[in-house]
Amino acid sequence: MPMNRRMRVAAKSPTLLERLKRRGWRMTAQRRVIAEAMAGAHVHLTAEEVFARASERLPEISRATVYNTLNELAALGEIAEVALGSGTKRYDPETVDRHQHLVCESCGTTRDVHPDGESRLALPASERARFTLNRVEIVFWGRCPKCAPRREPDLRGATR
Ligand SMILES: [Zn+2]
Ligand SMILES: [Zn+2]
């Protein structure tokens, strides 16, 4: 329901930093800048990007610390590893509000989205090859407003 979705977004889920404090994760200066590097909405950073952001605040932080910490957070389930078609693993700190992704195939801008009908999406037994299903990842590809050339017909072929 769209209304529920808007309400859920309004009642923001706790940030990564808040969740880590709550679970009693030992908060060193290094771990803090890594968590802070992933603050905000629609954040999907590569390990290198997290390292670059963390280094701005804490220049002595090592790449190995960043990589190890990201692996640890992923193992704890506090961040999700997402594959968004670039071949480079990205880290998503929004693990409370279940969502899918909308990606600009030109500049890579990525937004968290909540597709209609997702809850009804099913893989019939005949397609499942007796796999046990754990999760579904949906990526919507397109062009963001900055990258979309003007006057291009949209996917329905409508002309303006
Ligand atoms: Zn774009
Ligand atoms: Zn996301």
Res. 119 pLDDT band, cuts 50 70 90: confident
Specify the 3-state DSSP secondary structure of 101. strand
- Do 88 and 119 belong to one domain? no
Residues 115 and 81 in one domain: no
The answer to whether residues 38 and 81 belong to one domain is: yes
CA distance to 32, 56, 71, 72, 115, per residue, from 91 (Å): 16, 19, 10, 12, 21
User: Within this chain, do residues 92 and 21 fall inside the same structural domain, yes or no?
Assistant: yes
Tens digit of each residue's pLDDT (9 = 90 or more) over 29-67: 999 999 999 999 999 999 999 999 999 999 999 999 999
If asked whether residues 92 and 24 sit together in one domain, one would say yes
Same-domain pairing of 90 and 109: no
C-alpha of residue 107 to centroid of ligand 1, in Å: 4
74 and 110 assigned to the same domain: no
CATH number at residue 65: 1.10.10.10
> Is residue 160 situated within a structural domain?
no
Q: Report pTM.
A: 0.80
What would the pLDDT profile of 98-118 be if each residue is shown by its tens digit?
999 999 999 999 999 999 998
Domain-located, residue 8: no
The answer, yes or no, to whether residue 149 has pLDDT greater than 80, is no
Question: Which ligand number lies closest to the CA of residue 141?
Answer: 1
* 83 and 102 assigned to the same domain: no
- Number of structural domains in the chain: 2
Both 32 and 62 in one domain: the answer is yes
Q: Give 18 Cα–ligand 2 centroid separation in angstroms.
A: 18
d(CA 43, CA 90): 9
Q: What percent of the chain has pLDDT over 70?
A: 86
- Whether residue 7 is contained in a domain is answered as no
Cα-to-centroid distance, 114 and ligand 2 (Å): 10
Q: How far is the CA of 28 from the centre of ligand 1 (A)?
A: 36
Does residue 154 fall inside a structural domain? no
Enclosing domain of residue 136: 98-147
pLDDT at 124 over 50: yes
Instruction: Report how far residue 14's alpha carbon sits from residue 12's, in angstroms, rounded to the nearest whole number.
Output: 6
Number of the ligand closest to the Cα of 43 = 2
pLDDT value, residue 150 = 67
Is 10 part of a structural domain of the chain? no
Residue 111 falls inside a structural domain: yes
What's the CATH number where 110 sits? 3.30.1490.190
Q: What percent of the chain has pLDDT over 90?
A: 72
152 CA from centroid of ligand 1 (Å): 15
What are phi and psi for residue 8, nearest 5 degrees? -65, -40
